Structure 1
Amino acid sequence: MASHHDGGASKIAKAAVLSFFATCLIIIIAFSTNSWLETDGTLENPKFIQLGLWNFCLKEFKDVKHLYDRVFNGCRHVLDEEYHIIDWLLRPHSIQL
């Protein structure tokens, strides 16, 4: 008498292995990509240049939420202590929750 589950485990195993390799590929691409977001060039003087997993670039950016005269310029590491006052802007939405 044949079981209804013949081959079911192998289909699940194949799907799991395929999902694992797809996830590995996506993680490799995410970690090796220099920037995830970049300005599209439509603005004449953009304040935001690019944002990646490890770094971000700003040009003459002033934080409107704080009352200080700090202007942010150049590319920095996302965990740079000098830029911790605008980390709310740099963190992905899923981490801010």
Structure 2
Amino acid sequence: MTADNEYPKASNATLIGASITYVGALFLLLSFAGPYWMESYPEMFSPFKHMGLWEYCFDNFRFPGYRFDKKFDGCHYIYSQEYYAIKHWLLPGWLMAVQFFVTVALMLSFAAQVLLACVIVRWPLKTVLRYEWIFVFYSFIMVAVSSAFLFLAVAIFGGNCYRRDWLLYPSFNVLSWSYAFAVIAFILFGLASIFLYLEFRKLYKLRLEAKNLVAQMQHSQPEHTLNQLRDQLQQQQQRQWK
């Protein structure tokens, strides 16, 4: 056995939890960047085509509340100059909350992926072997919070996307694949957090057992030393008597 293989490898629970986290993060990234949280039915010929968290697409759309005769056409960034006049309508408060939750979930999941990658590849080796339970614990917290934030995001969006004070003709619209990917990511992160929590509990229990063992050895060592000294004195006395 080589020296490189003497240290313990990452457990199966960690590998499974990390794998699910990576897959969930891929779905989250596609949902975050995808402009298809909601789209209109093609057969309705609606001026609204589709939208994501950061982009809207229209086809010669006239906003009723805009006093100038301007047509909004094509796909543009939600904070672009093109949509500046109607940004208050395109970006209500509840949609800003959805943006916040999804963005924070993406950042937390990325940080968790970095920690889990360090645990799996055992780098830096000494730090990971000593503080593996901390790495897994923080990974669990970040993945669980990401799942909770995504749940809030999809719940808020799903509960408000058919409001009549937002997009016109809401009955012409339907939730699309970017929204579905966010739901999948929320489920996968929740599942991954379960595996990471179980692994954290196991590692923490092993750590407590190791600390107790060290404490017992430290308490028993003086007594063992006294016994050795007593035996040595008895042997010396026996030699003197002989």
**TM over 0.5: same fold?**
yes
Bigger Rg over Cα: 2
> What are the equivalent positions in structure 2 for 1:1-97 lying under 5 Å apart?
27-43=28-44, 45-94=45-94, 95=96
Deviation per residue, 1:33-61 (Å, 9 max, x gap): 33211111231x31100101221110111
Does the aligned pair in 1 maintain the 2:33–2:54 contact within 8 Å? no
Deviation per residue, 1:40-91 (Å, 9 max, x gap): 1231x31100101221110111111121111111111111112111112321
- 1 or 2 for the larger relative contact order (CA 8 Å, sep ≥6)? 2
Does the aligned pair in 1 maintain the 2:57–2:74 contact within 8 Å? yes
Matches of 2:30 and 2:75, distance apart in 1: 21
Matches of 2:37 and 2:71, distance apart in 1: 23
Give me the identity figure in percent.
25
Matched length: 78
Q: Secondary structure at the match of 2:43?
A: coil
- TM-score normalised to the size of structure 2? 0.28
Structure 2 unaligned segments of length 5 or more: list them: 1-16, 98-242
Matches of 1:91 and 1:40, distance apart in 2: 22
- TM-score normalised to the size of structure 1? 0.61
Structure 1 unaligned segments of length 5 or more: list them: 1-16
Matches of 1:66 and 1:48, distance apart in 2: 16
Matches of 1:24 and 1:92, distance apart in 2: 26
What value does the CA root-mean-square deviation take over the aligned residues? 2.7
Bigger share in strand: 1
Bigger share in helix: 2
